[in-house]
Chains A and B, each alone.
Chain A
Amino acid sequence: MISTIITGLIIGASYVLIASGLTLIFGILDVINLAHGEVYMLGAFVALLVVTNVGLSFWWAFLISVIIVAIFGVVLEKLFFKPLRNKPHVNMLLVSIAVGILMQNLAMLIWGAEPVLLKTPYATQTVSLLGTNVTVQRVIVLVVGALLMIGLHQFIEKSKMGKAMRATAQDRDAAALMGINIDKVFSITFAIGCAFAAAAGTLIAPIFLVFPTMGATAFLKAFTVVIVGGLGNVIGAIYAGLLLGLVESLGAVYISSMYKDSFAFIILILVLLFKPSGLMGKE
């Protein structure tokens, strides 16, 4: 039971990381980045490259992946989202989905569809936690995930840029009038959002394998978390993410493991039908 809960929390933590990036981008730019799953996938592949081809350790892979993907996020924003900023939202939605499909297919062409394992020593070492044995990798996911979220929270609450971001999320025009550089805010938001997705991808890769379509399922989960937690609501995403992870994990063990992915669906449908503003509402 404990191990099931721990697994749930770990999966939940990865959901939280991906979803908080997605919800942050929505909250500030007012657009759903439909390529976010592919960004997560990109993070995992970059980490894979670093470990397998360059031969560096997992931690280096983590750092490099996060940095590269953060830069990628900025490029993405400048290239595709910025020019469409003043046009109707449908354009940005479509562009992001097209970019996502492009990335997925390019990944398929480059790496093939076969899942690959990101080898790290942590995946095999175990540690005793609350009476069960857990691999170190899983503990790393939890710990690093928590640290990142705390860091994000501090950044948004305390730093100057964080305040600028919050102001922009509330009222873009007012923020601009107050002298906030909206372009910069958007770039940084995208950078952080994508960095977190990459972090999730890298942390999870040693446990769940790396393959080009991993972004699709991940996006679905992240999307569910974002809707349930409330679009733009990072705290909501934390609760919803952990909740979803737990539901899936417990559900897989006690109800049916085949329909594991369906729980997200069902929750998504129910929320969209009955409380579309999310269980916690918009930030």
Chain B
Amino acid sequence: MKKFYLPIIAMIIALLLPQFVTNRYYMHIFIVCLMYIIIAQALNLLVGNTEYLSFAHNAMYGIGAYASAILVRDLGWSFWVSVPVAGIITAILAMLVGYLPLTKLKGSYFALVTMAFGLVIVSVLHNWESLTGGPSGFQSIPGPGSFFGISLDTRLTFYYFVLVIAALTILLMWRISKTKLGRVFKSIGQDEGLAEAIGVHIGYYKLLCFVISAGITGIVGSFYAHYSRFLGPDMFSITEAVDMLTMVIIGGMGTIIGPIIGAVVIVVLPEMTRGLAEYRQVFFSIFLIATLMFMPGGLYSLIGIVRERIFGSKNGANGSADSGQTRGGVKQ
């Protein structure tokens, strides 16, 4: 059980955090971090394992957000119904978008198709004013309401809510990585042709991965809608899509901890460097380029390197033989 040290300690800290930090602003940051941790985990399932890039996750996030917002505000549905429905809507769209490129076409088409899809959705959000409120935004979205008597409309309770979902998501991703399904996803990223030759239906699994990844992102989108009570199309632009990919890559693709690190860095850094707001994108893009070119294992691999330097290498001759759990980063 000793390898569960870290997650247990992290969970305890996360649970106790709001008792020590009551500042509303910091609570907001924590909540946003948690939401992006979930998104990063979802995106990492696709990008970190199958190595297929989705530029549509901003769109999925947005679709989930607007769908739930519309269902609750305009149709009077309950948060608890609209959230899963938003997730399903997103999943279905992902299935439609991904079907051709993933099951019938060659590799890079998927990234391009998702890019086109992402741009279309942003355009729709901007222009279909009667549905989405257009550029001036979608206002007065009701909060989540209560969960067995406990109101989730406050930051404190909402924080715990998202924390639970985040923990469940991380747990899910971890479990997947230890099963047949996880291995299938990882094999697709390493050598699709070989996977197919031993009997893996790669088209099916690529699509499945994308759909799961998108669905989860859509659900987080709906959380966001009811948390922030307001939505605007600019929140879901292509920059957002690139930020999400950046999180996954700089954190350490294909690992469980990597996306957590990546999400926290991307969310917290701009907050800490408020004064340098204009330089934010410049910094991120340089960071991303540097990671891609020099540090494919991301920040997570840096931690591994630091750990080795301090504590000595764990596995002598075999190098980083971590039983493949931490197949860090983009293929060498």
> Could you tell me which A residues sit within 8 Å of B by CB distance?
32, 80, 83-84, 87-91, 93-95, 97-99, 101-102, 104-106, 108-109, 220, 223, 227, 259, 262, 265, 268-269, 272-273, 276
Contact = CB atoms under 8 A, between A and B. Distances in A.
Given A90-B53, A94-B288, A105-B282, A84 B293 contact: yes
A101 B332 contact: no
Interface residues of B, number: 40
8 contacts: A88-B51, A89-B107, A93-B108, A101-B284, A105-B281, A109-B282, A272-B100, A276-B100
Nearest to B190: A88
A265 B120 CA distance: 7
B249 A94 contact: yes
B127 to A, nearest CB: 8
B131 interface: no
Given A83-B293, A93-B53, A106 B282 contact: yes
Contacts of B278: 105, 108-109
Contacts of A95: 288-289, 292-293
A272 B285 contact: no
A94 B292 contact: yes
Given A88-B330, A265-B119, A265-B120, A102 B285 contact: yes
Given A89-B108, A94-B53, A95-B292, A272 B282 contact: no
B80 interface: no
B200 interface: no
Given A32-B108, A109-B282, A90 B120 contact: no
A272 B112 CA distance: 9
Contacts, number: 93
A101 B292 CA distance: 15
A97 B109 CA distance: 16
Contacts of B52: 90
A108 B120 CA distance: 25
A259 B246 CA distance: 32
B113 A272 contact: yes
A276 B105 contact: yes
B208 interface: no
The 10 A-B residue pairs whose C-beta atoms are closest, nearest first, are A102-B285, A98-B285, A98-B288, A101-B285, A105-B281, A105-B282, A98-B289, A90-B53, A95-B292, A268-B116
B286 interface: yes
A230 to B, nearest CB: 13
B111 interface: yes
Contacts of A83: 293
A102 B119 contact: no
B120 A88 contact: no
B55 to A, nearest CB: 8
Given A98-B285, A109-B278, A109-B282, 7 more contacts: A87-B331, A88-B330, A94-B288, A95-B292, A102-B286, A272-B112, A272-B113
Contacts of B330: 87-88, 90-91
Contacts of A97: 242
Contact of A265 (B123, B285, B288): B123
Interface string B50-89: 0111000000000000000000000000000000000000
B280 to A, nearest CB: 8
Given A105-B282, A262-B123, A99 B289 contact: yes
B101 interface: yes
B285 A99 contact: yes
A79 to B, nearest CB: 9
B120 A91 contact: no
A23 B241 CA distance: 24
B279 interface: yes
Contacts of B101: 276
B239 interface: yes
Contacts of B108: 32, 89, 93
B286 A80 contact: no
Which interface residue of A90, A220, A276 has the most chain B CB atoms within 10 A?
Answer: A90
Given A94-B245, A97-B242, A102 B112 contact: no
A93 B53 CA distance: 9
Contact of B112 (A32, A90, A104, A105): A32
A283 B112 CA distance: 19
Which interface residue of A93, A104, A108 has the most chain B CB atoms within 10 A?
Answer: A93
Nearest to A266: B120
B46 to A, nearest CB: 11
B114 to A, nearest CB: 10
Given A98-B289, A220-B119, A93 B111 contact: yes
A272 B51 CA distance: 21
B123 A91 contact: no
Contacts of A101: 239, 242, 281, 284-285
A107 to B, nearest CB: 11
A44 to B, nearest CB: 20
Contacts of B127: 259, 262
